Every structure is written in C-alpha cells, then in structure tokens.
Structure 1
C-alpha cells in the first residue's frame, strides 16, 4: 500500500502535529490564531487532565512514529474522559489514523466506523470511511488464499464512492477498487487453470465465465476468453469457441491471447465467428466493449 495516498488528511494532521509540538516546546511564547485552532480552550473537563493536553500529547507521540500505540491510547483517553467535546470527535479520527499507521487494521476499522456512525455529517467523515476501506484493502491476501477480505475491501471502497462521490478520496477509492477486482479475477483464473489441468472443462468454463461477466474490465479478461476458446474446443462446442475467439479478436486484436485462440479455432478447420445469441457476445454488448 502506498501510504502517500493517505496524505490528504496528513496535510491537516501535519499542521496539527507541528502546532502541538510548538505548544509543548515553546508554550511560554504564547499562542497565535492558528495554534488556537488545534489547542483546546478551556471547556468541559471531566478528568484530571484537560482534553487539549491529552490531545496534544497524542499528537506528539504520533509524530515520533515509534509511539503510535501510546498515541492511540492518549486519543482514546480524550474520547473516554471528554466524550461530548469537540476534542473527542477529533481524537476519535486521530485514533483511527494512528492505528492504521501502526498496522492495527481492526482497531482502525472499529474507530473509523464509530466515527462515521457518530459524525456522519462531519467534513472528515469521508476520510474515516476511506480509512475503513484501505484497512481492508491492505489485508488482501494473494490469489492462492481465501479472498473474503478482498470482497470486504470492495464493498467498503464502493461505499466511499457511493456516499462521498465528490470527495478527494473517491478517486483513490476507484483506483483501489479496480485493484481489488483484478485480485478476485486472478483468483478465478487460478482456479480455472487448475480445472483445465485436470480436464474438468465444465468447472473451468464456469470460472472463466465469472471473469468475463463480473470482471470484464480487468487485465485477466483476455486470457479468460482464450481459455474459454480452449475449453469449448476440448468438449466440442465449436460455436462457443468461435464466439470466444471472435470477441477476443474484436476487443483485443493485438493480444497474444488472440493469436493463441485463433490458432486453436483454425486448427480445427473453423474461423472465429461471433454468435450474437451467445452469452459471451451478450456479456460484452452489455458492458459496451463488444
């Protein structure tokens, strides 16, 4: 995961951190208008330590990076001891961010989800939703393993796009969504190849069909069409093999997979020819690629 993609909030957080450090090191110099934005004025205090002090201590610890867990505890303490203050709202989001930075994804998801629930109208709600999504995304396993986390990442990324389409995080979510879709398509291809090796052509066709119908915009669709050509040829359904090869050639004429599919079909004395009533043809017309 490129953590630079989280830099949007970072711009706000870095300013807050710098100002907090200034408050710690040069407190005697007084505060200006900008510092006042990030250091609490005297407000409701429900513990021995005021909310602003706990919050600034959390920022200080987070800036050291090696103390991210300690920083999270400070932010959680603000939320616990000053639950109705503005600093509690800020601390909840900072706790999620610090947990993400520490690689504690489940805690991040928990804090960010609570933030979205409690503060759905906040300007930072989009970022909290994005933290949930990238926490799931960063836990995606390789294609040889179960892809339940990938499905979860896709749902949370789609949630960012659906709920906050004009936010700065929607674009990043779309990019990662494509990556997650590519991952799921890769899983289907791996299983399909496994079936092909064992000559379970029906099982293989079902896997490649999933790639063509659900993950048509991924990089795996070319191979899926070529494998469909191969599988249909193997079981003697020539018309579908011809259609798979024709659709592949129409949409990806320069693909080496098309050369392979073309060779398979012509070796049997046929030519690529699209049957418009085939599910393959309909699938591509539906998405608008055919």
Structure 2
C-alpha cells in the first residue's frame, strides 16, 4: 500500500525519468536525474541519502515541479524514518506554499497516515495497550486529515483507504471516551462518567463502544438516585443492543493495567 501511495503522488511527467546509475557530480546532474536517484534511494530505504538528494533538488530550484514533488517525498521519507514531527512540519510547509497543488489529496492522505501511525505509539508494540487507552490527539488529527481528503477529493485514489481508517478511528475515539467514563465511574464520580458517556453517544452514534457507554449511564444514574433517567438509558440500551449484558459486566471492577493512568 505504501509503495502504491508513493507512486500515486508522482507527477505523470516524471515517468520518463532516466536511470539512477548516473555517477556524475550531483551539481552537474539534471533535475530528472536527481529525482530518479532519490527515488532509487527511497526504494532501497536509504533514508539519509534520500533526504540529502531531495534537499539538493529543492535548493536548486524551489518552485520547480521536481522541487515541489521532492518536498512531498521528503515528508514521506521522514515518516518512514520514524520522524513524524519533521514529516508533519514538511507537510505544513508544502500546503502553505502550494495550497492548490495537484497532489494535495496525497498530502492530506500522508498527513492522516503520519498521525495514524503516530497514534499507534511505540509502547503498543510491546504491550497489549489499546489505542483507546492513550491520548487521542493524534487520532483526532488523523481523522480530520482523512475527513478533509474524503470531502474535498471524493474521487481520489486515496479516499477509499482514508474512509476505512476513519471508521477505525471513530471506533477508537468512542472507546477512549468510554474508557474515561469507566474511570470516573470506578472512582465514585458518576456525574463525570455520565458526561463522558453522553458525549460518546452523541458524537459517535454508530460505534460499537456505545453499548458500554449506555451501560455506564444506567449505573451512574442509579448511583445518583435518578431512577427515571436510569430507565431511559436502559430503554435505549435495550433497543439498540438487545440482550446486552454490559450493565452486569461494567459493575465488575477490573484492576487497571500496569501502564494505564486509569
């Protein structure tokens, strides 16, 4: 998918670029040859060499078609080289300088990917920590980038994958709100739990996590001695999730995992 993404961003005119076997002094190489060299370095994952070549290409003629494309490739290389901060900064510069660029859809898609992968986090590689149990800032920024892509460029080749990722992120963001609501409930703050659960129900209406959000509302209203409101929440739960056992499940207090602040 990543190689398809990168290939899709390449301007059609660049297809005629020659071989990267050119061993001449870079200062004497054409823009086409430099770009082709950078592409070979990217394909072989030699990120430092690729960045050096791309920077040389941009410095030579900042507003040429090759330099514009090189800026996008630079963002991609930073992302692949585990440097999301630089990747996003490069994308910011690209969108400021070239707001109507033909590859804007790719720039938005790449922004979404950078934040999407950043949100998965380093710690998650070594634990079973869920996306919903960490700061959702990157997830929201990823969702916003994918949403802008899907809205502005519905026919883009990147839009179908962006929509799939948006669906995943909606579920994760809903789970995060439910996770926080559960935290408040366990610590004797039923009103705060209701507020977070209600936000999840109103904002993420199709997410599976809403079953638990409604169950939390039933329990929290019971604790607040609001039987009518508890019955209303129970009716909504029963209507949307028949035979749900979430209320009983939520009443069981789970021990927090070692890495969780909750």
- RMSD of Structure 2 on Structure 1 (CA): 2.9
| Secondary structure of the corresponding residue to residue 142 of structure 2 | helix
Aligned-pair CA distance for 1:16: 10
- Write out per-residue CA displacement over residues 213-243 of structure 1, whole angstroms, 9 at most, x where no aligned residue: 1122212100111111111122221111111
* 1:170 corresponds to: 159
* 1:254 CA displacement: 4.5
**How far apart are residue 12 of structure 1 and its match?**
6.5
- Given that 1:17 and 1:59 are in contact with CA atoms closer than 8 Å, whether structure 2 keeps it comes out as no
- Structure 2: 5+ residue runs without aligned partners? 122-130, 250-262
CA contact (8 A) 1:226 1:248 kept: yes
Partner of 1:51: 31
Q: Would you say 1:250 and 2:239 are equivalent positions?
A: yes
Q: For residue 257 of structure 2, what is the aligned residue in structure 1?
A: none
The verdict on how the C-alpha distance between 1:89 and 1:248 changes in structure 2, with shifts beyond 3 A counting, is: same
SS state of the match for residue 133, structure 1?
Answer: helix
Unaligned runs of 5+ in 1: 28-45, 262-290
CA distance in 2, matches of 1:126, 1:105: 19
1:140-182 deviation line (CA, Å, top 9, x unaligned): 1544433222222222222212222221222222222222232
Corresponding residue number in structure 1 for 2:85 = 106
Is 1:86 paired with 2:65? yes
The farther-off stretch of 96-105 and 67-76 is 96-105
2:211 to 222, 231, 234: 222
**Structure 2: distance between partners of 1:16 and 1:97:** 20
Q: Normalising by structure 1, what TM-score?
A: 0.71
2 CA distance for matches of 1:125 and 1:197?
46
Alpha-carbon distance in structure 1 between the residues aligned to 2:182 and 2:95: 42
Identify which of 25, 44, 60 aligns with 1:64.
44
Match of 1:152 in 2: 141
Give, in whole Å, the separation in 2 of the partners of 1:57 and 1:16: 16
d(CA) in 2 for partners of 1:98, 1:146: 25
SS at match of 1:56: helix
TM-score (norm. length: structure 2): 0.78
Cα drift, residue 64 of structure 1: 1.0
Q: 1:98 to 1:235 in 2, by over 3 A?
A: same
- Aligned counterpart for 2:20 among listed residues 24, 27, 33: 24
Are 2:183 and 1:194 equivalent residues in the alignment?
yes
The answer on whether the counterparts of 1:143 and 1:184 sit within 8 Å (CA) in structure 2 is yes
Partner of 2:54: 75
Report the secondary structure of 2:158's partner residue. Answer: helix
User: Size of the alignment, in residue pairs?
Assistant: 236
